[in-house]
A and B are shown apart, each in its own frame.
Chain A
Amino acid sequence: MDTAQKNGKSDEILLEVRGLKKHFPIQSGFLRRVTGYVKAVDGIDFYIKKGETLGLVGESGCGKSTTGRTILRLLDPTAGEIIFDDPNIGKVDLAKLNRAQLKRVRPNMQIIFQDPFSSLNPRLTVGQIVGEPLEIQKVASGQALKDRVAELLQEVGIRPENMTRYPHAFSGGQRQRIGIARALALNPKLIVCDEPVSALDVSIQAQVLNLLEDLQEKYDLTYLFIAHDLSVVEHISDRVAVMYVGYIVEMASTEQLYYHPKHPYTEALLAAIPKPDPRKRTRPIKLPGDVPSPANPPSGCYFHPRCRYAEEICKVERPPLRDIGGEHWVACHFAEKLQLQGVTPLNEIPLVELPKRQATAPATTAAAT
């Protein structure tokens, strides 16, 4: 992995993760003895370049949220390195920092949570929520703080007058915007977006995705975009990593991964996307059984019991994540041999133009009734 990253691009890498592991102990019995581990993340390597969006996809329980939280040290990693290129300090291994050191790096890495209903404190006003990071880092106080909060709210499309209101007064989409304003407060470099749009309605989802893209352009942000909706990930990501039971099984540029997948699990995921075209009805690839438990994974390649291409070697030996050329990383013994089916672009459906009978009519005019 190191060689590819050092091919003249190492200076652009913002975050590099090497061998990251996060195991949760399983305790049982009266003495709460540790009887095993849930290997939520079990040795993953990846990197994110400055200004890009890396999509992280996988089914529930595959460890994608744990990965996001471990990178920010919201969870302490069991093993591995998280090398972050801090603009002030330079390259640091986040896994080794103590509390005081972490506090200095934290302004540069923020998170947006999935559930806009539980991620905002109901007892604080919107102004307090967005201003909290500024107070903790002692960036601003008094009128300066208020001005900055107003500016941030304006940035995400919330009227600054709403600063004194409480989160319950806002809809899901507006709350997610408040969450985004809070993440932006300290001018971060990296934002981990943990399923930021999956709790939102379709029309609101498009608004929030557009906002995230605008902000990325304006502030040169780098996103780790965790999601399970593969259409959304395709839209927003430059590169995509696919996780399965604690491992990254495939990582490549969005075009490569969606149109030329090399891992059978990616193929199955892509085939399962419900495509919004009634003339292209697809049948899913049958995946027998369920996702294995990360506490008791199968031998060899974790995907082999469900894989239709599995052979003897897959039961015994776990394939390493390797580069098969052009920064396309796959963990499959037969990556080069398999002819897998990607998605077909949905360009046959016409994008119907909105009808305009009175082109000049402003929609919101409070005309006389």
Chain B
Amino acid sequence: MTNVATGAGTATTGAQIVSEDDVVRVEDLRLSFYTTLGVVRALNGVSFNIPRGKVLGVVGESGCGKSQTGLSIMQLTPGRIEGGRILFREFNTSEEIDIVKLDKNGPEMRKIRGNHISMIFQEPMTSLNPCYTVGHQIEEAILLHQTQDKAEARRRAVDILRKVGMPNPERIADSYPHQLSGGMRQRAMIAMALSCNPTLLIADEPTTALDVTTEAQILDLMRELQHEIGTSIMFITHNMGVVAQMCDEVAVMYLGRIIERAAVDDIFYNPKHPYTISLLRSIPRLGVARGQKLESIKGTVPDPYSTVPGCPFHPRCPAAIPGLCDAVMPDEVFVDGSRTHTVRCHLYT
């Protein structure tokens, strides 16, 4: 058994799930932040694919790198990408573009960003510009990527607002963000993100700031639109309930690595990694074991400046094997001969 923490690149690709028609294939992505306090290795070799027309859920606790993965695909991350490839394929083309190689501010990247790949952010309050009307902000993207005709852009903006279930789209297009409620703002954000019919939509905790009833309606809307437009969605969240309701496939992240990847049904009914299992055991379930203690994962996520030798989860893992888990980084392997379920854990190697 070799220490793969250093040479993970070649070792991991052996067990990576790929499909015939991937919109995005991320290979061994590494991202670091150089701060005055030290280097934070945010992503340590992340590999995954997003099949066309599917919803991939990315789950994990704060600081596990799920948002940075999304931002890297958009080339919006403030960190430094130190290795790996992000291969992106548009609708109806077979040509793959490596986003990592593109200039952040160059014309190719600007053509992709907001047009072929768009993003919804967590805070609908802070991600809309308070100085412009909602309609203006949606038209901006359309004018940039789709048409030069202002009247046409306006028509499309109102159309898309109607599509996301706004009661009075003409009036909403002329309102400023502060005049709308949180749920309405998030709908406006979704409208903006979908205005150019993107190939991939990255949704970074789109419902975390919303109330349950609003959340349920936004999720319902996203599901409907996804069926209609056929967009692939990368759905970043920490809520296992939302994952179960929304996603087709799930990638579980821990400290900058994907530690388990499977179809949503397998993640909930046949989880393999001790972290995934513990996460599922720690959420309160309706009608189950009321009055009993919840199981919790002991300890906390280690401090980002430190590096954990071996498997990053071993200090908190109830099944850790001394001498192995704390020394050697496990490879990503297929579970029980399945071609759709991978796990990164010594229990299965």
Binding site for B on A (CB under 8 A): 59-60, 171, 173-174, 201-207, 209-210, 213, 228-232, 234-235, 254, 258-259, 268-269, 271-284, 286-287, 289-291, 343-347, 349-358, 361-369
Task: Report whether B211 and A60 are in contact in the complex, using a CB–CB cutoff of 8 Å.
Answer: yes
Evaluate contact between B286 and A275: CB separation under 8 angstroms: yes
State whether the Cβ of B280 lies closer than 8 Å to any Cβ in chain A: yes
A231→B285 contact, CB < 8 A: yes
For B, the interface residue count at a CB cutoff of 8 angstroms equals 69
Q: Which of A59, A352, A366 contacts B212 (CB 8 A)?
A: A59
* Residue among A347, A354, A368 with max Cβ neighbours from chain B (10 Å): A354
Q: Would you list 13 pairs from A and B whose C-beta atoms are within 8 A, ordered by A residue?
A: A231-B285, A258-B287, A280-B244, A287-B217, A290-B181, A343-B286, A346-B286, A355-B274, A357-B319, A358-B319, A363-B318, A366-B326, A367-B327
A228 CB to nearest chain B CB (Å): 6
Mask, B234-263, CB within 8 Å of A = 1, is: 000011111111010000000000000000
How far apart sit A351 and B268, CA to CA, in the bound complex (Å)? 9
Residues of A close to B347: CB separation below 8 A = 355, 357
Nearest residue, chain A, Cβ from B64: A201
One of A206, A268, A278, A367 near B264 (C-beta < 8 A): A278
B11 within 8 A of partner (CB):
no
* Complex interface: chain B residues within 8 A of A291 (CB): 181, 211
B262-298 interface (Cβ within 8 A of A): 264-265, 267-272, 274, 277-288, 290, 293-297
Question: A268 touching B309 by the CB < 8 A rule?
Answer: no
B81 within 8 A of A: no
Verify if B219 is at the interface (C-beta below 8 Å from A): yes
Measured in the bound complex, the distance between the Cα atoms of B309 and A368 in whole Å is: 12
| Cα–Cα distance between A275 and B287 once the two chains are bound (Å) | 12
| Smallest Cβ-Cβ distance to B300: which chain A residue | A171
Please, which residues of chain B bring their CB within 8 A of the CB of A258?
A: 286-287
Q: Known: A60-B211, A274-B242, A355-B274. Contact between A234 and B296, CB under 8 A?
A: no
Contact B274 A201, beta carbon cutoff 8 Å: no
Query: 10 shortest A-B CB distances, which residue pairs?
Result: A345-B287, A274-B241, A284-B216, A367-B322, A235-B284, A272-B216, A206-B296, A206-B282, A203-B297, A59-B211
Chain A binding surface SS class:
loop
In the bound complex, do residue A235 and residue B274 qualify as a contact, i.e. CB atoms below 8 Å apart? no
Contact of B296 with A207 in the complex, beta carbons under 8 Å: yes
B213 close to A (CB within 8 Å)? yes
A354 to B271, CA, bound (A): 10
Q: Does B321 contact A (CB under 8 A)?
A: yes
**B282 CB to closest chain A CB, in angstroms?**
4
Q: How far is the CB of A237 from chain B (nearest CB, A)?
A: 9
Known contacts A203-B278, A275-B244; 11 additional CB pairs below 8 A are A202-B283, A204-B300, A273-B212, A273-B216, A273-B286, A279-B269, A284-B216, A289-B167, A349-B268, A364-B315, A368-B323
Cα separation A228 to B316 with both chains bound (whole Å): 29
Of A281, A289, A353, the contact of B245 (CB 8 Å cutoff): A281
Provide the residues of chain A in CB contact with B296, threshold 8 Å.
203-204, 206-207, 210
On chain A, the residues within 8 Å of B98 by CB distance are none
A201 touches B62 (CB 8 A): yes
Q: Known contacts A173-B300, A274-B219: does B326 contact A59 (CB below 8 Å)? A: no
CB distance from A110 to the nearest CB of B (A): 23
Q: Does B22 contact A (CB under 8 A)?
A: no
CB distance from B120 to the nearest CB of A (A): 17
* The residue from A284, A343, A369 contacting B287, defined by CB atoms under 8 A apart: A343
Cα separation A235 to B295 with both chains bound (whole Å): 12
Interface flag for B8 (CB, 8 Å): no
Q: Is B183 interfacial (CB-CB < 8 Å)?
A: yes
Which residue of the partner chain, among A206, A271, A277, A358, contacts B294 with CB atoms under 8 Å? A206
Shortest distance between the CB of A294 and any CB in chain B (Å): 14
B283 touching A345, Cβ below 8 Å: no
| Shortest beta-carbon distance from B40 to chain A in Å | 16
B245 x A363 contact (CB < 8 A): no
- Closest chain B residue, CB of each to CB of A271: B216
Which residues in A have their C-beta under 8 angstroms from that of B61?
201-203
Contact flag A363-B212 (CB < 8 Å), given A258-B286, A352-B270 = no
Question: Given B245, B268, B327, which contacts A369 in the complex, CB threshold below 8 Å?
Answer: B327
